[in-house]
């Protein structure tokens, strides 16, 4: 199936084109980028990279389309989003295979999580737009929520389709038009998504896709004076660069950036439930999630028990060929990430943290591919690099504490504040601790994922929110209209106050 994905895209001319103004157009440059299968380290395709010229063309198309799309009816926009949602589900297997090929997700995980969750973002955007009050009244003030304009969307390689739909869905529902720059490291699912948008009947110019790298295409989007908003999901470093490039044009910048999420195990927690689920959450998507709870903060008196349970949980992980039905975890997505994980494991060993499983190198019997050993460090000090820096791989730090106050201090003791977890039997106590943690989301006792829950960060994890109503509102401006309301007590003359 993987070869058929490439053949499908190649035969239709998708790999060497951009999607601009409803057409697949050849870029002006000859720049190319190899798409590498992380399980073999071999290139499987080449895509064309765009430049500032393609960004300009896409922004111009989006600006033209905005004039009509922004004033189209909610019913018409949500009907088109409904078609996008249906087509994603119809083509779910093709998307899953593409994601597994381009970034190494185990095929079962791609099928069960990556693709269905991506489709949910479109469904939620559709449903929220149908019920949202775009016009409200406050006395004689009319409040209008209007589309902000042309939006540049920059998405990462770790959840490629999921992050695209989390932005495109609410942006289109709000009446915005968009230019998408997906990661050049995982472009295949983005190209398939552009086909879905076209086949769903989204009007030309409403959705545009320009492949390219950050320094050229990402910067051109951020700098462009006709782009009204940039939404980026990526590293904190990338978010800073985008914000700097966007500053001269005073456009809105929404950033979902790095994280080092804590998982605070309270003294009364059931360790047999809390620890295995915590290991699974930390290693989900091979740890390549900005909100992965990679710091497990545990009572010092129970540390040995936690170690034993965590080791047993990690032993059930099957690292291997992402196309195999038996594999639970494939490789990390690219060489740079593999090198980063290896570097940080080495730093953890040098810092004196104790390994209870994993370590440097590939798992046994895997001689090629960007495979990492699921690694758990224990007796980690909160100020160690492995407890402070985002690793973005299958590395979990067990950090002991002596009091709940100390545990909260540890949880808040990084520059990040994206996600957090709290585990405990006393729900009142767990909620009290959750309220003290400085992060955009806190999960108590591993609740199901809810696409209506707003997601975003405190501190250097970014600003703004995605998902749910708040995700829709990111793409809206507020207009207050004063006067013009008939008032029987007045003579009808408007009085302006400054």
CA 392 to chain CA centroid, nearest Å? 13
DSSP symbols for 303-324: HHHHHHHHHHHHTT--BS-TTS
The residue with tokens 């003030």 is 141
d(CA 76, CA 306): 53
Q: Residues 331, 322: contact at Cβ < 8 Å? A: yes
The residue with tokens 């005073």 is 250
DSSP symbols for 62-124: HHHHHHHHTTS-HHHHHHHHHHHHHHHHHTHHHHHHHHHHHH---HHHIIIIIHHHHHHHHHH
Sign of CA dihedral 199, 201, 207, 208: positive
The DSSP call for residue 216 is I
**Residue 445 structure tokens:** 């006792």
Which residues carry out catalysis?
256, 290
Going by C-alpha positions, the residue among 140, 410, 433, 490 that lies closest to residue 269 is 433
Half-sphere exposure of 43 (CA within 13 A, CB side): 7
**Residue 430 structure tokens:** 């767990």
**Residue 57 structure tokens:** 């063309």
Q: Residues 265, 303: contact at Cβ < 8 Å? A: no
The residue with tokens 């008196």 is 301
d(CA 368, CA 421): 35
Contacts for 439 with CB less than 8 Å, ≥ 6 apart: 261, 416, 417, 418, 419, 420, 457, 458, 461
Q: How far apart are the first and last CA of the chain?
A: 66
Q: Residues 291, 261: contact at Cβ < 8 Å? A: yes
d(CA 316, CA 294): 18
Phi and psi at residue 206, in whole multiples of 5°?
Answer: -70, -40
d(CA 414, CA 420): 12
d(CA 228, CA 477): 11
Q: How far is CA 24 from CA 16, 87, 140, 196, 233, in A?
A: 9, 19, 49, 13, 25
């Amino acid at each position: 199936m993987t070869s058929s994905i490439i053949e499908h895209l190649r035969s239709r001319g998708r790999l060497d084109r951009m999607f601009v103004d409803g057409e697949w157009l050849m870029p002006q440059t000859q720049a190319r980028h190899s798409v590498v299968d992380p399980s073999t380290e071999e290139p499987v395709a080449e895509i064309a990279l765009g430049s500032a010229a393609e960004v300009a063309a896409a922004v111009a198309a989006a600006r033209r389309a905005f004039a009509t799309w922004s004033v189209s009816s909610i019913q018409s926009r949500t009907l088109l989003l409904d078609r996008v949602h249906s087509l994603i589900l119809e083509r779910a297997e093709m998307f899953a295979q593409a994601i597994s090929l381009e970034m190494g997700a185990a095929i079962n995980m791609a099928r069960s999580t990556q693709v269905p969750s991506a489709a949910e973002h479109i469904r939620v955007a559709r449903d929220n737009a149908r019920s949202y009050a775009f016009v409200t009244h406050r006395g004689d003030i009319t409040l209008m929520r209007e589309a902000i304009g042309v939006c540049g969307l920059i998405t990462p390689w770790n959840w490629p389709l999921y992050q695209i739909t989390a932005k495109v869905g609410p942006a289109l529902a709000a009446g915005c038009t968009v230019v998408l720059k997906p990661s050049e490291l995982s472009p295949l699912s983005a190209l398939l998504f552009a086909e879905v948008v076209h086949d769903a009947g989204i009007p030309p110019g409403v959705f545009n896709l320009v492949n390219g790298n950050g320094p050229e295409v990402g910067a051109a989007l951020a700098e462009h004076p006709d782009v009204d908003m940039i939404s980026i999901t990526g590293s904190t470093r990338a978010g800073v660069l985008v914000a700097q490039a966007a500053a001269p044009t005073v456009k809105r910048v929404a950033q979902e950036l790095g994280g080092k999420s804590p998982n605070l195990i309270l003294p009364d927690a059931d360790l047999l439930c809390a620890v295995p689920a915590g290991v699974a959450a930390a290693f989900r998507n091979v740890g390549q999630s900005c909100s992965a709870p990679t710091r497990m903060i545990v009572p010092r008196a129970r540390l040995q028990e936690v170690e034993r349970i965590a080791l047993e949980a990690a032993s059930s992980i099957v690292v291997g060929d992402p196309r195999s039905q038996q594999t639970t975890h494939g490789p990390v997505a690219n060489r740079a990430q593999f090198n980063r994980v290896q570097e940080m494991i080495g730093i953890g060993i040098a810092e004196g943290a104790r390994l209870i499983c994993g370590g440097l190198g590939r798992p046994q019997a895997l001689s090629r591919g960007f495979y990492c050993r699921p690694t758990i460090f224990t007796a980690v000090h909160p100020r160690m690099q492995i407890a402070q820096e985002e690793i973005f791989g299958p590395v979990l730090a067990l950090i002991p504490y002596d009091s709940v106050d100390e545990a909260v201090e540890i949880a808040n003791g990084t520059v990040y504040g994206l996600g957090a977890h709290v585990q405990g039997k006393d729900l009142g106590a767990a909620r009290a601790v959750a309220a003290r943690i400085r992060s955009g989301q806190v999960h108590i006792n591993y609740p199901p994922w809810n696409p209506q829950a707003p997601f975003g960060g405190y501190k250097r994890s970014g600003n703004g929110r995605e998902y749910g109503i708040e995700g829709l509102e990111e793409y809206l401006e507020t207009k207050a209209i004063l006067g013009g309301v008939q008032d029987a007590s007045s003579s009808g003359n408007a009085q302006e106050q400054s």
